[in-house]
Amino acid sequence: MINSPFVRKAASVQQVMLQVLLALVPGIAAYVWFFGAGILVQIALASAAAVAGEAAMLAVRGKPKALFLSDLSAIVTAWLIALTFPPIVPWWLTVTATLLAIVVVKQLYGGLGQNPFNPAMAAFCLMIVAYPALMSQWPAAGQLDFSSQLQLIFGGARQVDAISGATPLDALRTALRAAANPDSQLHGLRAAQLMDGPAYGMLGGKGGEWVALGFLLGGLWLLQRRIITWHIPGAFCLALAASAGLLWAVRPEGFASPVFHLASGGAMLGAFFILTDPVSGATTPRGKLLFAAGAGVLTFVIRAFGAYPDGVAFATLLMNLCVPLIDMNTQAPVFGHKKD
Amino acid sequence: MLRKLFKFHGGVKPQTHKTQSTTQPIARVPLPERLVIPLHQAVGGHPRPLVAPGDKVFKGQRIGGADGSLSSAVHASTSGIVRDVAPALMPHTSGLTTLSVVIEPDGEDRWGELDKVNYRTAPPDELRDFLRDAGVVGLGGAVFPSYAKLKPGKEGRLKTLVINGAECEPFITCDDLLMRERAADMLKGIVAMRHMLQAEEVLIGIEDNKPEAVAAVQAAIAASGQSGIQAVAIPTRYPAGGAKQLIRVLTGIEVPHGRRSTDFGVQCFNVGTAYSIFEALEFGRPLISRVVTVAGNVDQPRNYEVLIGTPMDHVVRQSGARPDTDRYIMGGPMMGVRLPAFDVPVVKATNCILVGSPALFPPPPPEMPCIRCGECAKACPADLAPFEMYWFSRSKNFGKAQEYHLFDCIECGCCSFVCPSHIPLVDYFRFSKSEIWARERDKSSADAARDRFEFKNFRQEREKQEKAEKLAAKAAATREKVAADSQAGTASPATEAPDTAKPAAPSAEDTKRALIAAAMEKARQQKAQIAPKNTEQLSAETQADIDAIEARRAATATPPTPDA
């Protein structure tokens, strides 16, 4: 027996996920333009692994395959993995990471809607702990052509040193630490001066800043489509910029500028596409602000004082842990129970 | 005059489908062959039948009397003969029956003598009783007896009387047409209500997708020369016509769940109710018909003035139901109820017969897991977190569901409407509410049983104790008596032999023996009393026989003489 309401809005999980995928396209286009088409290979690899892993787990769990594969949530996870990993990691690393995300982090916890952690970020953290070297090789913009990228992805041998070893975030941190050392050549140089190199662009890393702008564009479109609300990207960017800005204002020779932080690494992807994952994120308006602000501060702390190239993934997981607590304590008063 | 309006959280904008049924005026429906008038049509007690099969009834004759503190009378919608007073199918999803009066119309549609009241001079109490007996209930769908709401509350006067002409449900246009065609009379009803409630101002809220109705009501207000009454166009957003939402939009006041709006100086009535109140007070006509929208899968959607008790399929026939019709829905597509049959009667709550087909209302796509996207929370006009309540309802964690204000849910359907996972959220909440009610019923009956049992134990214990006390008192009395007797008996020997070892008082052994003797004596007496039970009204012969037998028994029972 079907009860009221008898009419429904034409909305579906598939549509939501499809729009998220579409919103990633400008960022991917910039990525391909500056860093080559290798990323497309990674996206394809991750997507194939995600669909295979999801299908296998749905079969094991006795769930309808067509229904759950067509919701596209696995593809979103796959794309986020491809976009957060270095574009030249070997194929098996991408596939393993995606399978871990889909099989363990998502399906073993109960599938769509049930995972406490963001699958893509959990996979990123697992991989950076397991394969720190491979996960830290970021080519500079235009450094590698497509064939050498393919060779790195599918070929066996790799000359680690031949590839630029670090993200601009990582490089700048290392440089800033060196600058603090009186014995170093770089001693006394400020961040702005340190960034006067071929690896850096106007705002962040060369090329990387354009990719970030692409993600920002897609994110704003998601906002306009009401797929996401302003709370999470707003609070994350503000908290990241504020914590970076505070230390930068006090010691500009020791820290990068807030703009650099926003335009580098996974900040934009995190703000609009990762932290906004509704399944693993906070859901109340106030909760979203807290959740994202926490992630912003943690991202900065890990970037500035940690040993990893970026902090978004760990910050996301740490804040995912806090979600039940945040949600429980930020329920808004209901109709007729508000205090004026 | 522009008025500051307030917003309520959430809400949705479904397709309204209202233009099709507003092209033509309200039409009358020919008399059906039979009217089935349920006696219980309003919130509150079940009215008792006042007619029996074979009775002749007039149009407007009371056939069900209001019963109890909150109840509303029911009337014959036309003149004719009562054919039956029996349970009949209700217009409700449950498919349950309810006691109904079946009337075969005589075709004359003749009014009987109607009670009248001079509403301009009568005191409010008398008007309330009059409206109760006229069967006037809220026609917005809640069918709450209007007389019970026409009380101004503790302060004796009301700040704002809100009249609900919002009509936010898609397809339904009965209030729209009523306002367009009968605004002046409706306004007279409103003036009477305002007087009863001592209301300072009257706000008539109408969604701005009904400009004709707004204009008609404004013209009627201007023509009446009344001050302090205002027709306010409000933004079209479902469920702006929910009483609480409308009060919020017009006054900014949020009436919490479980509180009376009069505590906040507001009361809300539907426009149709105001018109019925006018009919009752002006002409003495009880509520026997109402405007009903027929819409959906029909050739000509339209509004009809329908007699209460008319079978729905008879009404729908006037509009021409299409062949693929598979169901009727009473009400709109957001909150309406699917009916168990096509021939259930139109009742006071029937604002719309929505004719459905699989093409018009396709079954929802398969239910997917909740992804916590929060769309439902964004759409909820009660500011709830439906997805949280859904988890708790699903896991039957009803305590938690209540903690998240399950009972503040007004079941408007906005959450189900927007859910991208196609989860029938409202169904989960209805389920939880009914489970909680059932548990509370069970609990209260268990509590009652436990109370009964505990009282029984207490009573038995008390009786046992009282008996024991009585026995003890008696025993003590006997003991004293025995003691006194033996004291008297032993007094002289004791004086004679004061140096013997014999105690002055009787020994415990003696007392015991005396008690036993007393008890045996008492038992013997009781036995003697009980023995001649069946010997009271005996014939002389029988008595003689008994005497003979007794004599013989006495003879044999006599102990043998020592020398025998």
According to the model, what pLDDT value does residue A189 have?
A: 67
Q: How many helices (H) and strands (E) does chain A have?
A: 15, 0
B372 with A15: Cβ contact below 8 A:
no
Domains by residue range for chain B, with CATH: 19-28+118-356 (3.40.50.11540), 370-467 (no CATH)
What's the burial of A167, exposed, middle or buried (CB within 10 Å: 0-12/13-18/19+)?
A: buried
Q: What average pLDDT does this structure show over A244-265?
A: 88
Assess whether pLDDT exceeds 60 at residue B505: no
B418 with A111: Cβ contact below 8 A:
no
End-to-end CA, chain A: 42
SS3 B199: strand
End-to-end CA, chain B: 130
Q: What average pLDDT does this structure show over B389-400?
A: 94
Contact B162, B177 (CB under 8 A): no
Contact B259, A336 (CB under 8 A): yes
B418 with A12: Cβ contact below 8 A:
no
Q: How far is CA B51 from CA A189, B66, B69, in A?
A: 102, 14, 22
Assess whether pLDDT exceeds 70 at residue A187: no
B244 with A67: Cβ contact below 8 A:
no
What's the burial of B67, exposed, middle or buried (CB within 10 Å: 0-12/13-18/19+)?
A: middle
What is the bridge-based pairing of β-strands B35-38 and B97-105? antiparallel
> Which of B:27-86 have CB within 8 Å of A?
none
Assess whether pLDDT exceeds 90 at residue B297: yes
Compare B376 and B557 and report the one with higher pLDDT.
B376
Q: Considering just the CA atoms, what is the radius of gyration of chain B in Å?
A: 39
Q: What average pLDDT does this structure show over A286-294?
A: 97
Q: Is the Cα torsion angle A13, A19, A25, A28 positive or negative in sign?
A: negative
Query: Which residues are bridge partners to B327 per DSSP?
Result: B356
Which positions ≥6 away from B558 have C-beta within 8 Å? Answer: none
Query: What is the complex's ipTM, to 2 decimals?
Result: 0.89
Buried b (16+ CB within 10 A) or exposed e, B21-47: bbeeebeebebbebbbbbbbbbbbebb
The Cα B253–Cα B59 span in angstroms is 42
DSSP character string of B118-171:
-TTTS-HHHHHHHHHHTT-B-TTTT--BHHHH----TTSSEEEEEEE----STT
Q: What average pLDDT does this structure show over B293-310?
A: 96
Q: What is the pLDDT of residues A47-94, one digit of tens each?
A: 999 999 999 999 999 999 999 999 999 999 999 999 999 999 999 999
The Cα B295–Cα B174 span in angstroms is 11
Q: What is the pLDDT of residues A13-48, one digit of tens each?
A: 999 999 999 999 999 999 999 999 999 999 999 999
Least confident of A1-5, B26-30, B232-236, B288-292: A1-5
B361 with A332: Cβ contact below 8 A:
no
Assess whether pLDDT exceeds 50 at residue B494: no
B405 with A7: Cβ contact below 8 A:
no
The alpha carbon of residue B69 is apart from the nearest alpha carbon of chain A, in Å, by: 28
Pick the closest to residue B256 from B248, B9, B402 (CA basis). Answer: B248
Mutate to test the interface with A, among B373, B392, B407 (most CBs of A within 10 A): B373
Which residue of chain B comes nearest to A6, CA vs CA? B333
Assess whether pLDDT exceeds 60 at residue B491: no
Pick the closest to residue A73 from A30, A38, A107, A40 (CA basis). Answer: A107
What are B455's two structure tokens?
């009282």
Q: Is the Cα torsion angle A253, A257, A263, A265 positive or negative in sign?
A: positive
Which positions ≥6 away from A225 have C-beta within 8 Å? Answer: A19
Least confident of A181-195, B101-115, B397-411, B468-482: A181-195
Mutate to test the interface with A, among B248, B253, B337, B371 (most CBs of A within 10 A): B371
According to the model, what pLDDT value does residue B467 have?
A: 93
Per-residue pLDDT band for B376 (boundaries 50, 70, 90) equals very high
Compare B554 and A195 and report the one with higher pLDDT.
B554
According to the model, what pLDDT value does residue B381 have?
A: 96
According to the model, what pLDDT value does residue B537 have?
A: 67
Query: Which residues are bridge partners to B101 per DSSP?
Result: B37, B85
Q: What are the backbone dihedrals phi and psi of residue A240, each rounded to the nearest 5 degrees, phi first?
A: -65, -50
What is the bridge-based pairing of β-strands B48-49 and B35-38? unpaired
Q: What is the mean pLDDT of chain B?
A: 90
Establish how many alpha carbons lie within 13 A of residue A320's alpha carbon, considering only the half-sphere containing its beta carbon.
24
The Cα B182–Cα A236 span in angstroms is 57
Q: What average pLDDT does this structure show over B526-541?
A: 69
Per-residue pLDDT band for A192 (boundaries 50, 70, 90) equals low
Q: What average pLDDT does this structure show over B503-527?
A: 77
Q: What average pLDDT does this structure show over B168-182?
A: 96
Q: How far is CA B482 from CA A52, B449, B513, B523, in A?
A: 103, 48, 10, 17
A5 with B430: Cβ contact below 8 A:
no
Q: Is B359 on the interface with A (CB under 8 A)?
A: no
Q: How many residues does chain A have?
A: 340
Report CA dihedral (A331, A332, A335, A338) to the nearest 10 degrees. Answer: 130
